[in-house]
Each structure stands twice: as C-alpha cells, then as structure tokens.
Amino acid sequence: MHQLPQLRSVLLAELERRYAPGRSKTGRSYAGRSYAESPDIENPYTGRPWLRYTAMRRGGAGPLALVFKAGVIELLGAHRFARMARRLGYRLNPGFLGVYGFQGGEPAYRTLLRHWLKHAHDADLLMCHPAARACEGDGLGAQRTAEFRVLASDEMPGWLAAAGLELR
C-alpha cells in the first residue's frame, strides 16, 4: 500500500516531518550531518526508519504464478517509491521475497521458504505473516500458523546457514 501513487507522497511527507535530516528524537542534530550524508550507518540518534522496497528479487519469486503476483506488487509503484525515498536519504532493502498465495500449509511454505532463502542476498526483505495461533475470523489463520511452525522449526537455522544468511 505504501508505494501506491496516492499514498507514497503523503507517507514520505509525514516521514520527513517526523524524521527530518539532522533532527534527532531530542531535537538535536546528528554530528552536523543529515542522515542522507551517512546512509550506510544505523542512525540511533534520529531513529530514521528504513523503508520497504517491493521489487522482487530476480530468480527468487518461485513458480510462474508467484512471479506474476510479485511482478504486480512491484508494478504498483516500487521503483518510483524507491527513487523518491532515496532522494530523501532513506535506506531501502535491495530485494523483496516471500510473495505467495497464502495456501498449501506447512509443506508448501517449507518448499517456498527454502527457495527464497536460496535466492536471498544480503539485506533483502522476506515478507511473512506468521502467527502462533489463528484468530477467529482470520481467513489466513491456518496458513499463518503454518508459517509460524516452519519459521520456528529446528530446520530453520540449517537452511539459513546453508544459504549463508543470518537474521537481523
């Protein structure tokens, strides 16, 4: 939603109001520099957030139907949003993984997750929607709990290690 043309300008304006370059949570500047001048560091003084970039990681989307779905999400404004955000000095994740149809239970999610991890690069974002238990009325509740069980499984550390990844 954040990248849609009707929302991205409003979102970025609000973020600039809250996290203007050089403004800290206490109103002091950060060493006389704006965040845009030091984009490679975590900035604990400003609390300036990184923003989600939804351009799919090439090769990482999975089966053709999921490539199509991830492509649609990307076409909803990912590149324009990223250009606008970068111009303002915001950091974004370089790739986006985890788009799927929210079905198939643990077996399907396990297969997809392993594929995504295999194709992930440093600082990519993996979208997931896990829940320890389903909430009444949540049509995705069963799949959310399947995600949770796969992500919390004893296999997960091995998959991360095999892909050369660590969670941060």
Q: What are the boundaries of each domain within the chain?
A: 49-163
Over residues 37-95, the pLDDT tens digits come to: 444 445 554 577 889 988 887 776 667 767 777 877 776 778 888 999 999 988 899 98
pTM, whole model, 2 decimals? 0.75
Answer whether residue 155 shows pLDDT above 80.
Answer: yes
C-alpha 84/C-alpha 76 separation (Å) is: 14
More confident residue, 156 or 20: 156
| CB distance 19 to 49 below 8 Å | yes
Q: What is the pLDDT at residue 37?
A: 42
Element housing 119 (H / E): helix 105-119
